[in-house]
A and B are shown apart, each in its own frame.
Chain A
Amino acid sequence: MNKTEIDVAYLPLVDSAPFIVAEHLGFFRRSDLRVHLHKEVSWAIVRDKLAVGSRDAAQMLAPLPAMTTLGVSGMRVPLLTGLGLSKNGNGITLSISLWHQLLRALGLPQDHLVSSANVSDVVRQAVLDARVLPRKLTFAVVHGFSTHAILLRKWLRSMGLNPDADVSMIVVPPSQMVDSLQEGVIDGYCVGEPWNTLAIDQKLGIAATWGVEVWQDAPEKVLCVTEQWHEANTNTHLALRLALLQACVWLSEPDNISEAAHIMSAERYLNIDEETLLRALSGRVVRSPDQEQEPVSELLSFHGAQTNQPGGAAAFELLDGCADLLGRPVDPVQRHLLATRCFRDDLYQQTVEALPGIR
């Protein structure tokens, strides 16, 4: 028996847009689904509620279905995804007071242009030369098994640094990032929007880099269900994927972006002002409080084969990033099994075939 009334969990973030839009514009209803959206406070509780069946489906960090199936993150439950919901969308913020301190130490002007290349250059020197900064930098991410953690490691490696030895990494909930930066508990963080933009607007941070500049086609959020639930509700799962894919397509139309920002800003959803949301959704961001807005291509993407297809090369790259986090390689056979079991391209194909006119 397939359910027609389902409970779906999400975290209030900019890339929750597909869920919010699907509810608000009636995509769920048109798929003959009655969906109750539930705002949750942590990925851990989302996973627990999925596992015990108090939620039918959920938004999830892309690495978590595989890592939870593997049992290395919190608990072992077989989870899967048949639809990617977003790609990229993260940024790395650096404390603005640290930035100015480092510029002084290096004899650079205080209005040194904030660009990906310049920030990398300054941070590299600060980490490698104790005369520039006589202490370790501390960076925060929102979850141990997240694209944020992988991205931060890729960024540090791109500068020739060792993420395990050269800096400290901690986990801080997104809502506490900006305050932690202000209090000097952390020197920087990697997080999704709007938390980078909020720090920049409050003159507390600069954008060290945007995720897409370090890692193109980074899977970000996926639609996640338990293997067990999928088997019992294959039709409901398909209807849900259809509704959400339609929402993703709608969100990829530039003309719809300001309406999306308006819908999402409501108190019952994100409760954040429209203008801040609009910047992340439209890919027009600022890197420093003193600089103009500039477009960043594919800053956050909701639609396209690279975004919605969960498996393929991107899934393997993601698994390799997770192995890097764990500090040990994943056995090649296990890697393949995990990729095909948790990132279900067959379910994605089924969704696309049911939606004529979708790439």
Chain B
Amino acid sequence: MQAAPSPSYKVMLVDDEPDRAEWVREFLSKAGMEVSTAPAGRTLLKHISDVTPDIILIDIESPDRDMLESLSVLSAHQPTPIVMFSEKRGTEFINAAIAAGVTAYMVGEIEPTKVKPIIDAAMAQFQAFQGVRKALDDSQEQLRERRNIEKAKLLLIQQHAMNEERAHQFLRDQAMQRRLSLGAMASTIIKKLEAADRTGVAKNE
């Protein structure tokens, strides 16, 4: 018989954000780990007893954490998860876990040194996901700002007979005077000019 492959741990991701769970699962699977995902909430206990994971990764702000931490105390017929946070690791690790929004529990009989790379990899992925999401949010915000600036200039050109260069200059001066970003100033101007336009239309009628 062939020698058994080196043991790989069964990891369970508990996450109500399917996108994030999938992102982390894919990465850990590629690294050769057996990863399953489970939603937080009432069915979690059943998932745990069906899958019997070695390691559970869960959102640090999940209401289910008290349940996970209590499994080891309450009864012998449940898996006995031990929390990753050890004395030696100290608060720095927890700080990192809090920053990444994830916390880890593992079942007893597992050497912390062997699990650490898994946890580190998972946490790096969680953090990377936050990064990706933030970048996405940022670029959408930039796009919106740029659109607002163009719209504000257009309104200035139409309603105040400015040319484009003059409109741009006006926008920049106003923003500087009020210590606003160009985007924020643009949306203020749009609001004002659109309101003025509506009253104008009302008068004309």
Contact = CB atoms under 8 A, between A and B. Distances in A.
Contacts of B33: none
A42 B73 contact: no
A164 B64 CA distance: 23
Contact of B70 (A48, A52, A171, A180): A171
Contact of B65 (A42, A76, A145, A168): A42
Given A75-B83, A176-B42, A185-B42, A42 B98 contact: no
Nearest to B73: A144
Interface string B89-125: 0010011011000010000000000000000000000
A41 B9 CA distance: 29
Interface in A33-90: 41-45, 48-49, 51-54, 71-77
A171 B85 contact: no
Contacts of A173: 63-64, 66-67
Contacts of A183: 42
A45 B65 contact: yes
Interface string B2-35: 0000000000000000000000000000000000
A76 B87 contact: yes
Contacts of B78: 170
A117 interface: no
Contacts of A175: 63
A268 B177 CA distance: 38
Contact of B66 (A75, A171, A180): A171
Interface in B165-204: none
Contacts, number: 94
A149 B69 CA distance: 14
Size category of the binding interface on chain B = 20 to 34
B62 interface: yes
A223 to B, nearest CB: 19
A41 B74 contact: no
Nearest to B76: A164
Contacts of B45: 170
B75 interface: yes
Given A75-B85, A168-B77, A171-B74, A44 B94 contact: no
Interface string A179-204: 11001010000000000000000000
- Which has the most chain B C-beta neighbours within 10 Å: A76, A173, A175? A173
Given A145-B73, A170-B67, 10 more contacts: A44-B68, A44-B69, A52-B94, A71-B87, A74-B69, A75-B83, A144-B73, A144-B74, A183-B42, A185-B42
24 contacts: A42-B66, A44-B65, A48-B94, A49-B98, A52-B91, A52-B94, A73-B69, A73-B73, A75-B85, A75-B86, A141-B74, A143-B66, A144-B66, A144-B71, A164-B75, A169-B75, A170-B45, A170-B78, A171-B74, A172-B42, A172-B67, A173-B66, A173-B67, A179-B42
